[in-house]
Amino acid sequence: MPQIFEKEVNGASLGVWHIVETEACLRKVCRAVPDDILIVDSFLNESRRKQWLACRAMLGQMLGLVSVKVCYDEHGKPSLDGFRGQISFSHTREYAAVMINENGPAGIDIEKTSPRIERVAKRFLQDGELENIRMMEEREEKRDGEREENREEGRKNPHTELLYIHWCSKEALYKLYGKPTVDLKNDIYLIPFDYFCNSQATFQAKVVIGESVEIHDLGFERIEDHVLVYTIARPK
């Protein structure tokens, strides 16, 4: 099967599907109910259809379902018909990512990295976050200077990847809340963390909701030239 991985994360389930099949093959394995197939038939773009199908194929495989019926609320937050938990989707041309949490909200985001994000960074980052990124880059440069012989060939640009880690984190938290009133720049702040270009990392963010501040745990993974970030709500 074409999934990259499927694993448990703090009681929730995470799955990533590599979209390499033809559309016809994905239609056979997507497990979507007939009514939903009518929806995907309305998409003019083939890549969008394949991403839609791959998300449902991954979801159905993770839950062992014969058929999958996904519904959306007025804010675009998905839910699975007949399932008491919560789900979250994200996808690019190459990958579909699914997060399933039986005990509460979940959020996931995957993005292909590109230097273009630098042009819009100030639109979603607070000044403190920009300063934290600068400091993390300085630590990484110092580390490289001390261990030049162990430099990873072709490793990712720290600045670009850190921007995407922040962007994906905020998108994942936005999806977790499922409310358009959550502002990516002003309401979500990533707490400084150790980076060092690791392929995996865990860190935290604080989210301002009205008069309260909530702390969330996030996980990061690098999949080739993609950044994946996921989060689930802490048990209350």
Provide the CATH number for the domain around residue 13. Answer: 3.90.470.20
pTM of structure: 0.92
Instruction: Please check the confidence at residue 228 and state whether its pLDDT lies above 50.
Output: yes
Q: Kindly state whether residues 226 and 132 are assigned to the same domain.
A: yes
Domain-terminating residue out of 69, 103, 137: 103
Q: In what order do the strands lie in the sheet with 188-190?
A: 106-112, 226-232, 212-223, 200-209, 188-190
Residues 9, 232: contact at Cβ < 8 Å?
Answer: yes
Q: What is the mean pLDDT of the chain?
A: 91
d(CA 183, CA 181): 6
Q: Kindly state whether residues 142 and 93 are assigned to the same domain.
A: no
Q: How many CB atoms lie within 10 A of CB 92?
A: 17
Confidence of residue 222 (pLDDT cuts 50, 70, 90): very high
- What is the Cα Rg of the chain in Å? 18
Q: Kindly state whether residues 136 and 86 are assigned to the same domain.
A: no
Mean pLDDT over 142-147 rounds to 65
Q: How many CB atoms lie within 10 A of CB 160?
A: 17
The total domain count for the chain is 2
- What are the structure tokens assigned to 67, written together? 């058929």
Q: Kindly state whether residues 134 and 92 are assigned to the same domain.
A: no
Confidence of residue 86 (pLDDT cuts 50, 70, 90): very high
Q: Which residues form the domain of 164? A: 112-232
d(CA 102, CA 111): 25
Q: Kindly state whether residues 126 and 221 are assigned to the same domain.
A: yes
Domain-terminating residue out of 68, 103, 138: 103
Q: Kindly state whether residues 98 and 145 are assigned to the same domain.
A: no
Confidence of residue 234 (pLDDT cuts 50, 70, 90): confident
**Which pLDDT value is given to residue 154?**
47
Answer with the residue of higher pLDDT: 150 or 219. 219
